[in-house]
Structure 1
Amino acid sequence: MKKIALFSTLLILILSSCETYKPQIVQSEQIFQAGQVPFKQCHASTIQPIGKDSLLAAWFGGTHESNPDVVIWSSLYSHGQWQAPVQIADGILNDTRYPTWNPVLYQYPNSDTLSLYYKIGPNPREWKGYVKYSLDKGNSWSASQQLPEGILGPIKNKPLTLANGLLLSPSSTESKEEIWKAHLEISRDHGNSWSVSAISPDTTIQVIQPSVIQHADGRIQVLCRSKENKVMATFSTDQGLTWGPWQATNLLNPNSATDAIRLKNGLLMIVFNPAIAGNDWWEGRTKLHVALSKDGLQWKNVLTLEDGAKNDEYSYPTIVQDAKGLIHITYTWNRKSIKHIVLK
């Protein structure tokens, strides 16, 4: 009876802390300064904890998005500071240079191998998925490998490895007819082979760039950028093999990327642009907010990261929680730098 009472007390304390939890910014900085790097623009960052006190961030950078000189850059955070960016991948294929896109860093649980997924191609309708590996925490990388035909890799946000080892990689496609579809790429052998799980393929809902999270009850949820002016969600009860209908969350979405995770305290956290779409694709990206949720559908704004003016762009956030419980967010800062925020 004492054990039951103790468990009940702990559960009440945990639930109470979730009710009152409000994230606070404990660190805010640009990874590099504009003019101090050999590229004019940058976008689409990713971040990964490395060891106990280090971080590795990556992004694409060049003259401008889709220019053939755009390559993948990375920076290591060590001993309290970000190191100078270094190039870690390019888009040269058979002596032809293509732009690179959307790097995603991911490390399998209990593995020393760090994966860098990214895309090569003239545009998101024709790109192909590639991967590199590092065994020394991102100091050096293997040669690039093209993923199997039809497999793009995680399109923007991190994969999720379930307790049984099943890897769920959130991906999507954009057709030449501008049709958007989301799917999962599933691996049972640490990425050596893949299968594809289409997410509500017959719907007219247009979505890309999923985040994938697992709820405490085992359900899998994806949250997507959309053309619907809302962040869209759907759920799976069989580990991502089949999916329910798309549901609109209460979060606005101006056709801009988001990212979401489940925190160690059980709450869900998302970083998003709180606006609707404008006449041009870049409109609606001047503000960047953080919201919390219990169910993944109803969210509460809890923090403003950016509150900019017209023509500012704060976009493409990525989010991860480290072993100490600190939350790391990176995002595009006016295409001139990548900003790193730490929350507790």
Structure 2
Amino acid sequence: MGYLSKFAITGLAVCGALFVRAQHLSVRVQKTEFIFEEGKFFDQCHASTLEETAEGVLLSAWFGGKHEGSNDVVVWGARQVDGRWTAPEVWADGKVTPETQFPCWNPVLFRPRGSDKIYLYYKVGPNPREWWGMVKTSDDGGLTWSVAKRLPDGILGPIKNRPIQLADGTVLSPSSVELSEDRWIAHVERSDDGQNTWQAYPVDHASLFNVIQPSIVQHADGRLQVLCRSKEGVVATAWSTDGGRTWSSLEKTDLVNPNSGTDAIRVGGRLFIVYNPDLPGKEWWEGRAKLRLASSTDGISWTDVLNLEDEEKGEFSYPTVIQDAKGRLHISYTYNRKSIKHIVVLL
């Protein structure tokens, strides 16, 4: 059986295990697949991101190389054309001189509303405490990319999850800083001039919560909410009523978190989050063998609506979720550091 036919599962074939109804919400998987062939392009990969072009082409990017933090790690990307993923290509690297290269980390794709331009944000540096933000752009749907540009000091760009754009065009980028291995803080970077300049706004830096990698969602009443990975065993949240300039104190939701990345999105009157439903273990990778999609109407209380992975061992982590022009959810995530899995969900 060929690679694509072996792993592409469509329609009702998966619904017996994954279909859930919760609070009059119907959720089912339309398709699940791997974006590339395992082991062909790099030894390990992680931290995928998704975006849709103005023409409806799906883009994915991630970092890959020998292992996370290795100097050969670069940003890879692929385009889904006519339902099939193109072969991965290098979209960005960490070269600072012809002889010196640092690893790349956590790419984030973003297309502003009504624009053809795609932004590729990513980090470069020896580790998350010393990295810096970089950006490239594409005007042809990811076929070619501009020369890389370093972001200003103090601006890291979106750390893991996509920015959101407010009704007035303001772009809010969810970000964070790992001050040390023991202290993490989140912030939001705000641009009202087309992502040319940025201003950073802290998210409760006095909190005892250690948080990174926020998602930003906007509720129907205009309030903004961040949902953050934490060291404290929960998904932590804070709120803004002034467009992301000031934030409430961090508080816990009812979602557990094993110190692993999440991603959230609003669809209509509901919020959705992809997360690992477990508590932290002794090792950083523990708690990542199960992955779920949950839904909420208030951003605090959540109901699981889909089991994406349910194993005793393995790493299914760092999800990203977007909604395409047809209303479908696209979810991708790290699959045992060997591949990137892509799932299409119908609501």
TM-score in terms of structure 2 length: 0.92
Where does 1:47-196 land on structure 2 (aligned, <5 Å)? 47-94=50-97, 95-176=99-180, 178-196=182-200
User: CA contact under 8 A between 1:53 and 1:78: conserved in structure 2?
Assistant: no
What is the rounded CA distance, in whole Å, between the counterparts of 2:55 and 2:310 in structure 1? 32
The alpha carbon displacement at 1:56 in A equals 0.4
The one of 278, 283, 286 equivalent to 1:280 is 283
Alpha-carbon distance between aligned partners in 2 of 1:112 and 1:76, rounded to the nearest angstrom: 15
User: 5+ unaligned residues in a row in structure 1: which ranges?
Assistant: 1-16
* 2:310 aligned residue: 307
Which residue matches 2:220? Answer: 216
How far apart in 1 are the matches of 2:66 and 2:58?
A: 26
Match of 1:46 among 46, 49, 61: 49
Q: Which amino acid aligns with 2:175?
A: S
Counting aligned pairs with the same residue, the percent is 53
Q: Secondary structure at the match of 1:323?
A: coil
Letter in 1 for 2:83: G
Which residue of structure 1 aligns with residue 332 of structure 2?
Answer: 330
2:299 maps to 1:296: yes
Output the CA distance in 1 between the equivalents of 2:168 and 2:213: 25
What's the CA shift for 1:26? 0.4
Q: What is the match of residue 345 of structure 2?
A: 343
- Structure 2 segments unaligned to the other structure (5+ residues): 1-20
Structure 2 residue 219 is the aligned partner of structure 1 residue 234:
no
Aligned-residue offset at 1:55: 0.3
Alignment of 1:319 onto 2:321: yes
- What secondary structure does 1:112 align onto? coil
Are 2:96 and 2:102, in contact at CA under 8 Å, matched by a contact in 1?
Answer: yes
Counterparts of 1:195-206 in structure 2, within 5 Å, are 195-206=199-210
| Higher deviation after alignment, 42-51 or 292-301 | 42-51
Structure 2 distance, partners of 1:64, 1:55, is 26
8 Å CA contact retained: 1:259, 1:317: yes
Structure-2 change in CA distance of 1:45 and 1:177 (3 Å):
closer
Does the Cα contact within 8 Å between 1:292 and 1:301 map onto a contact in 2?
yes
Superposition deviation, residue 309 in structure 1: 2.4
SS in 2 for 1:24: strand
When normalised by structure 1's length, the TM-score is 0.93
Whole-Å separation in 1 of the counterparts to 2:266 and 2:253: 16
Three-state SS of the structure 1 residue aligned to 2:27 is coil
Deviations 1:312-336 (A, max 9, x none): 0000000000111000000000001
Q: Report the Cα distance in structure 2 between the residues aligned to 1:35 and 1:227, rounded to whole angstroms.
A: 32
